[in-house]
Amino acid sequence: MHKPIKICSAFVIGLLLTSCASSNGGSSVAVGPGADSESEAAASFVSPAPYLLELAIPVLDPGLPEDEYASIDKGIWPELRHAEANRMAWMLKMAADKSQSFSTVRVTPTASVSADIYMLGEILKSNGEDLTFKIEVVDASGKTWYTEKYTHRTVSYWYEDPRNVGQDPFANLYVEPINDLIAYLKKKKPDDIARIEEISRLRFAQSFAPEAFSDYLEVKRGQVHLVGAPAADDPMVMRTDAIRVRDKLFVESFQGYYSTFAGEMDEAYYLWQRDSGLQASATRKAKQIAALKTAVGVLVAVAGVAAIANAPTDKYGNSDPVNVLGGTAAVIGGGLLVGSGIGSMQEARSHKEVLGELGRSINADVAPRVIEMDNTTTTLTGTAEEQFTQWRGVLGQIYEAESTPVGTINIVEPCSDGDDIEC
Q: By mean pLDDT, which of 312-321, 351-360, 393-402 is the weakest? A: 351-360
Q: 173: which residues sit within 8 A by CB, 6+ positions away?
A: 32, 33, 131, 150, 151, 152
CA 324, 327, 333, 338 dihedral sign is negative
Q: How far apart are CA 164 and CA 207, in angstroms?
A: 48
Q: Is 237 exposed, middle or buried (0-12, 13-18, 19+ CB in 10 A)?
A: buried
Banded pLDDT at 161 (limits 50, 70, 90): confident
Banded pLDDT at 68 (limits 50, 70, 90): confident
pTM score of the predicted model? 0.72
Top pLDDT among 114 and 77 is at: 114
pLDDT tens, position by position, 122-158:
999 998 889 999 999 999 999 999 999 999 998 878 8
Q: How far apart are CA 261 and CA 245, in angstroms?
A: 25
Output the DSSP codes for 156-189. Answer: GGGTT-GGGTT--TTGGGGHHHHHHHHHHHTT--
Output the DSSP codes for 326-337. Answer: HHHHHHHHHHHH
Query: What is the longest distance spanned by two Cα atoms in the chain?
Result: 116
Span 1-19, average pLDDT: 42
pLDDT at 316: 53
Residue 81 has pLDDT above 60, yes or no: yes
- The β-bridge relationship of strands 144-153 and 223-226 is unpaired
Top pLDDT among 55 and 343 is at: 55
Report CA 393 to chain centroid distance, whole Å: 31
Long-range Cβ contacts of 281-285 (<8 Å, 24+ apart): 281/28, 281/129, 281/156, 282/348, 282/351, 283/348, 283/351, 283/352, 284/129, 285/23
Within 13 Å and on the Cβ side, how many CA atoms surround 398? 27
- Spell out the domain ranges in the chain: 1-188+254-364, 369-412
Rounded to 5 degrees, φ, ψ at 144 are: -80, 125
Q: Cα dihedral angle (246, 247, 251, 253), rounded to 10 degrees? A: 20
pLDDT at 376: 74
pLDDT at 155: 84
pLDDT at 388: 87
Banded pLDDT at 72 (limits 50, 70, 90): confident
pLDDT at 398: 81
From the CB of residue 79, how many other CB atoms can be counted at a distance below 10 Å? 18
Residue 269 has pLDDT above 70, yes or no: yes
Banded pLDDT at 396 (limits 50, 70, 90): confident
Residue 347 has pLDDT above 70, yes or no: no
Q: How far apart are CA 247 and CA 186, in angstroms?
A: 29
Banded pLDDT at 309 (limits 50, 70, 90): low
Q: 335: which residues sit within 8 A by CB, 6+ positions away?
A: 297, 301
Q: By mean pLDDT, which of 66-70, 250-254, 260-264 is the weakest? A: 66-70
Q: How far apart are CA 342 and CA 348, in angstroms?
A: 10
pLDDT at 225: 95
* Cβ atoms 86, 62 nearer than 8 A: no
Span 398-420, average pLDDT: 60
Q: By mean pLDDT, which of 245-249, 269-273, 332-336, 392-396 is the weakest? A: 332-336
Percent of the chain with pLDDT over 90: 33
Average pLDDT, the chain: 75
Span 362-377, average pLDDT: 66
pLDDT tens, position by position, 224-233:
999 999 998 8
